[in-house]
Amino acid sequence: MARPHSAAGFTLIELLVAIGILAMVAVLGWRGLDSIVRSREVLNAQLEQSRGMQLTFAQMQSDCEHLAGSSAVTAGGKTLLNGRSYLSAEPDRLILVRQAVAEQQPQQLQVVTYRLVGGVLTRRESNGTRDLAVLDTLWQAARDDTDGANASVVLLRGVGSMAMRGQRSLASNGTPDWITLGAGSKTDDLAGLEVTLQLPGQAAGLSKVFLLGPG
C-alpha cells in the first residue's frame, strides 16, 4: 500500500520571513497614518489662522470705515472731534476713534486699540461716550496702555509683527504716496491705511489696505 503523503507545512525560516514582512508592512502603515494625521493637524492650523486673518481684517475695515476723522461732522455741521487726535499708528499698535451707532441710540464715540504682544493680536474697545472730556481720558489711557476697563478680545495668535503705512495723497504721476508710520507720525491727513501682519514661516507679510472714513 502507498503511504499517505503528509501535508506540506511552513518551515521556521519561512515563518520568520513572513512575520518580518508583516512587521514591516505594519510599521509602514503606522508611519503613513501618522503622516496623514500630522498633515491634517497642520492643515487645520493653517485654515484656523487663515480664518482668523480674514476676521481680523474684516474688523479693521469696519473700524476704519467708521473712523471719526477730520471730515466727520455733527448733525449741526460742526467738526465732531474739534481737532483732537483720532488715529495713532506705530509698530505693533493701532489706536483709533470710531463712531459707534446703535439702532435708535444717539451716536457715540469709542476708542479702539489693536495691540500685538507676545505674538497675540488683540482688540479692545472703550465704552461709548458723547463727552469729549471723557474721550480725552479714554484716548490717553489707550496711549499709556492703562485702558483696562474692558477686556481685550484675542483676534489672532502666532503673529510675528504688525507694521503700518499711510497714504497721504496721490503723487503727480497718479500713484499713491505711502509713508511708513511710527510713533509720532502725522496721521490727520491720511486717506488710506495699510496694515501688514507677518506670520511665522512666510517670507512676506500679509497686507490689506483700508480707506479711512466712509467710502
pLDDT tens, residue by residue, 21-60: 888 888 777 777 777 777 777 677 767 878 888 999 999 9
Q: Please tell me the total number of residues recorded for the chain in this structure.
A: 215
CA distances (Å), origin 105, targets 74, 101, 102, 124, 152: 15, 7, 5, 22, 24
Residue 77 is predicted with a pLDDT of: 47
Residue 110 is predicted with a pLDDT of: 94
Is pLDDT at 76 greater than 70 in this prediction? no
Per-residue pLDDT reduced to its tens digit, 129-180: 999 999 999 999 999 988 877 889 999 999 999 999 999 866 566 677 889 9
* Amino acid, single-letter form, for residue 191: A
For residues 134 and 169, is the Cβ–Cβ distance under 8 A? no
Per-residue pLDDT reduced to its tens digit, 99-138: 987 777 788 999 999 999 999 999 999 999 999 999 999 9
Per-residue pLDDT reduced to its tens digit, 193-204: 999 999 887 888
For residues 69 and 212, is the Cβ–Cβ distance under 8 A? yes
CA dist 107 and 135 (Å) reads 14
Which helix (H) or strand (E) segment is 48 a member of?
helix 12-65
| Strand ranges for 5-144 from DSSP E | 87-90, 93-100, 108-117, 120-125
Q: Nearest 5°: phi and psi at 79?
A: -60, 135
* pTM, two decimal places: 0.76
CA dist 35 and 27 (Å) reads 12
Is pLDDT at 188 greater than 70 in this prediction? yes
